[in-house]
Amino acid sequence: MSEARLPPATEIFVTFAALLRRNGFAIAPEQTTAFLAAIELLGPVSIEDIRRAGTATLAPPPERLATYNLLFDVHFGVAEATAFSESDRQDDVVRLQEEGDSAVDPDIAQDQNESGLAATRAEALVARRLSATTGGGPLQLLARQARAKLPKRRGHRRMRTRRGSFVDLRRTLRESVRRDGEVLSLRRLRRRPRLRRLLLLIDVSGSMKARTEDNMRLAHVLVQAVPQAEVFTLGTRLTRVTRPLRLKRREQALLAASHLVSDWDGGTRIGEALQAFLGVPRFSIYARGAAVLVISDGLERGDHQVLREAVWKLSLRAWRLSWLTPLATGPGFRPQTEALQAIAPLVDDMVPGGSDEAIVAHVLSLAQRRAA
């Protein structure tokens, strides 16, 4: 018997589904079949009909729709003018990146912030290799004391205790059987404490260039110490780097993170990046009841009202919101920039973040602070 083969006309549609898989999209075989059936049913008269059929059946995630459209244009040979006009319209949009989401990127910006002293909105996509040095005493101290000193919350599981809010009925009855049904005392249970979730948002823009490597090394230590820790980088894009930082060897973890983040030392869009974080439900859930740490100088070049609104929403979800800025020089720090002045009433702590010692000291003191 001869093998059943697809008609030659369907090859371009099947290879498009394969292209999406190679670029990190989850496309099941049933979706490819549904894509072909939709095209046959519609009888498309334009390329946009095929695009809409693919969007409906292949179901790209909303945050990756721009990548899907770009791959579609490249695969089906849509006119370059259309592709460029689409990318131009999205220049001021903060893109979301996760693992496997950096396969197709715009060209690297020509004007890069070499000095790292100025804040800009321009997007500069560059590669950067992070150093895996030990980080010295503060990071070692954090690794040793994180589990013991980081804030905890009451879990749902219960543990035995001498005094507690719950009666251990099973244990009490078991002991009463040994004493011919006589109950001498009630055994107690209490809720087992668990580490509170920790959310770390790291500014990797050009104005934070001098602290980027140190902050990423600190993030690796926290992720290794706290299973519930989540780490995102902010710049002109929002990138989740938790998964690569879960690699135990620091050199491998930082290398994987450096390949994933594409907006190192670029522009500053803190407010828009935070709005993008809050706009994605699977991201914003990480902030609920968490100790949120934002490491940024706050040199926002965008609309300060957008930043203020985003910080306000973030503070409502967080257990405690701390803003660690290199501009702070001591306990009596008063913000001088307009952005920091706008968000100062909304954050619980605005403390120095210009050294590992200051950041580690604040992180280890979180358990002593009350919830906001």
User: How high is the pLDDT of residue 177?
Assistant: 79
84, pLDDT greater than 50:
no
User: How high is the pLDDT of residue 128?
Assistant: 57
User: How high is the pLDDT of residue 97?
Assistant: 64
321, pLDDT greater than 90:
yes
**Spatial separation of the C-alpha atoms in residues 186 and 167, rounded to whole Å:** 7
Least confident range from 80-94, 209-223, 280-294: namely 80-94
User: How high is the pLDDT of residue 47?
Assistant: 86
10 Å Cβ neighbour count for 123?
A: 21
**Residue 272 tokens, joined:** 């828009």
Segment 309-314 mean pLDDT: 94
15, pLDDT greater than 50:
yes
**Residue 186 tokens, joined:** 């009630």
User: How high is the pLDDT of residue 79?
Assistant: 46
Segment 244-267, tens digit of pLDDT: 899 988 888 898 888 888 888 777
Q: Tokens 């809720």 appear where? A: 191
Nearest 5 degrees, angle CA 258-CA 107-CA 82?
135
Segment 295-320 mean pLDDT: 89
Q: How confident is the model at residue 80 (pLDDT cuts 50, 70, 90)?
A: very low
204, pLDDT greater than 80:
yes
Is the dihedral angle over the CA atoms 41, 69, 22, 204 positive or is it negative?
negative
- Upper half-sphere CA count for residue 50 (Cβ side, 13 Å): 18
User: How high is the pLDDT of residue 117?
Assistant: 46
User: How high is the pLDDT of residue 103?
Assistant: 41
Least confident range from 88-97, 158-167, 234-243, 260-269: namely 88-97
CA distances from 251 to 133, 220, 256 (A): 8, 10, 9
273, pLDDT greater than 80:
yes
Stronger pLDDT, 128 or 354, i.e. the higher one? 354
Q: How confident is the model at residue 135 (pLDDT cuts 50, 70, 90)?
A: low
Kindly report the length of the chain. Answer: 372
User: How high is the pLDDT of residue 13?
Assistant: 87
Do the beta carbons of residue 140 and residue 218 sit within 8 Å? no
Of 246, 369, 235, 232, nearest to 314 by C-alpha is 232
- Please state the three-class secondary structure of the chain as a single string: CCCCCCCHHHHHHHHHHHHHHHCCCCCCHHHHHHHHHHHHHHCCCCHHHHHHHHHHHHCCCHHHHHHHHHHHHHHHCCCHHHHHHHHHHCCCCCEEECCCCCCCCCCCCCCCCCCCCCCCCCCCCECCCCCCCCCHHHHHHHHHHHHHHCCEEEEEEEEEECCCCEECHHHHHHHHHHCCCCCCCCCEEEEEEEECCEEEEEECEHHHHHHHHHHHHHHHHHHHHCCCCEEEEECCEEEECHHHHCCCCHHHHHHHHHHHCCECCECCCHHHHHHHHHHCHHHHHHHCCCEEEEECCCCCCCCHHHHHHHHHHHHHHCCEEEEEECCCCCCCCCCCCHHHHHHHHHCCEEEECCCHHHHHHHHHCHHHCCCC
User: How high is the pLDDT of residue 199?
Assistant: 95
CA distances from 149 to 161, 193, 356, 363 (A): 21, 12, 17, 9
- Where is mean pLDDT largest: 45-59, 109-123, 180-194? 45-59
CA distances from 137 to 134, 319, 359 (A): 9, 28, 13
Segment 1-19 mean pLDDT: 73
User: How high is the pLDDT of residue 281?
Assistant: 87
**Spatial separation of the C-alpha atoms in residues 212 and 204, rounded to whole Å:** 6
Q: How confident is the model at residue 99 (pLDDT cuts 50, 70, 90)?
A: low
Q: How confident is the model at residue 207 (pLDDT cuts 50, 70, 90)?
A: confident
Share of the chain above pLDDT 70, in %: 81
Q: Which CATH number fits domain 136-149+196-368: 3.40.50.300, 3.40.710.10, 3.40.50.410, 3.40.605.10?
A: 3.40.50.410
Strand order in the sheet with 152-161: 152-161, 188-195, 166-167
What is the pairing mode between strands 230-234 and 237-240?
antiparallel
User: How high is the pLDDT of residue 164?
Assistant: 73
Stronger pLDDT, 367 or 156, i.e. the higher one? 367
User: How high is the pLDDT of residue 114?
Assistant: 45
